[in-house]
């Protein structure tokens, strides 16, 4: 039975992606599993954060502040470009995501909306900053001819996980509360990040992508900032 399931899985994978080099296929499998874990994480925690804030007493003004917080990382991602010139993009992204998602492990201590809002501010700041680093990583792990197919498969896995997990998370929130569910989500977020460390990265490809980006970035920080929404959009898709 396990061999039959494995065969079916391989056939489905090949039907979706076609023939891929070994490293690309390995990276696609890792990113797809990480994206599924991230989708469940997002369904449990991020989707219901405004609901939880309202339940524990947040006013309309505080909810508006929370909505604005979701852009904190996008604003400061411009300066992340300067950091990834000095540090490996994967290491930079993993550290930021581990810090941000592990914050949810402490939600079991929080019963006040103001404290939860402070935690979410730190979360969104750390979660969004690695967007440019993620874009560089994707350039390195997927050659251009395979990149579209690979990203599409990973995103489909994430969205399916999100669609299935969201209603279940809603029922779980009613039965167990956010002080139980959000730490579970934090564990899944951390797992998603740790899986990302198993990617096989072509360092020379990353260097070429970096040099290519450097040529475009010489227009100054204002030009870098103008390109960031695309990078951040890609980063949110991970995991």
Domain range summary for the chain, segments of one domain joined by +: 21-237
Would you place residue 211 in the very low, low, confident or very high pLDDT band (cuts 50, 70, 90)?
low
More confident residue, 224 or 27: 27
pLDDT confidence of residue 193: 96
Superfamily of structural domain 21-237: MFS general substrate transporter like domains (1.20.1250.20)
Which residues are within 8 A (CB) of 53 and not within 5 positions of it... i.e. 6 or more apart? Answer: 62, 63, 66, 113, 116, 117
pLDDT in tens, 157-208: 999 999 999 999 999 999 999 999 999 999 999 999 999 999 988 666 555 5
Alpha carbons 167 and 43: distance in angstroms, whole number: 8
pLDDT over 80 at 118, yes or no:
yes
Token digits for 21?
A: 């080099």
Rounded to an integer, the average pLDDT of 137-149 is 91
Return the minimum-mean-pLDDT range out of 1-5, 12-16, 56-60, 116-120: 1-5
Q: Does the pTM exceed 0.75?
A: yes
Distance of CA 144 to the CA centre of its chain: 21
Using DSSP, state whether 142 is helix, strand or coil.
coil
pLDDT confidence of residue 7: 56
Rounded to an integer, the average pLDDT of 94-117 is 95
Using DSSP, state whether 145 is helix, strand or coil.
helix
User: Cβ–Cβ contacts within 10 Å for residue 178, how many?
Assistant: 25
Would you place residue 5 in the very low, low, confident or very high pLDDT band (cuts 50, 70, 90)?
very low
pLDDT confidence of residue 201: 86
DSSP H helices in the chain: 2-17, 22-41, 49-55, 60-69, 72-83, 89-102, 113-128, 131-141, 144-176, 178-196, 203-217, 221-237
Would you place residue 122 in the very low, low, confident or very high pLDDT band (cuts 50, 70, 90)?
very high
Greatest CA separation found in the chain? 58
């Amino acid at each position: 039975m396990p061999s039959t399931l494995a065969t079916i899985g391989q056939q489905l994978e090949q039907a979706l992606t076609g023939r891929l080099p070994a490293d690309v296929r390995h990276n696609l499998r890792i990113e797809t599993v990480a994206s599924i874990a991230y989708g469940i994480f997002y369904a449990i925690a991020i989707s219901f954060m405004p609901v939880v804030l309202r339940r524990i007493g947040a006013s309309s003004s505080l909810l508006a502040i929370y909505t604005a917080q979701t852009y904190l990382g996008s604003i400061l991602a411009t300066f992340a470009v300067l950091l990834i010139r000095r540090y490996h993009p994967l290491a930079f992204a993993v550290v930021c995501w581990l810090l941000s998602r592990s914050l949810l492990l402490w939600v079991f201590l929080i019963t006040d909306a103001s404290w939860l809002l402070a935690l979410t501010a730190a979360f969104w700041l750390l979660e969004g900053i690695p967007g440019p680093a993620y874009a560089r990583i994707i350039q390195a792990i997927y050659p251009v001819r395979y990149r579209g197919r690979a990203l599409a498969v990973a995103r489909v896995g994430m969205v399916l996980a999100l669609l299935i997990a969201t209603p279940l998370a809603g029922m779980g929130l009613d039965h167990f509360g956010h002080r139980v569910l959000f730490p579970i989500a934090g564990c899944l977020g951390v797992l998603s990040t740790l899986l990302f460390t198993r990617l096989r990265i072509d360092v020379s490809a990353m260097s070429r992508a970096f040099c290519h980006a450097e040529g475009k970035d010489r227009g100054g920080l204002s030009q870098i900032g103008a390109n960031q929404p695309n990078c951040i959009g890609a980063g949110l898709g991970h995991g």
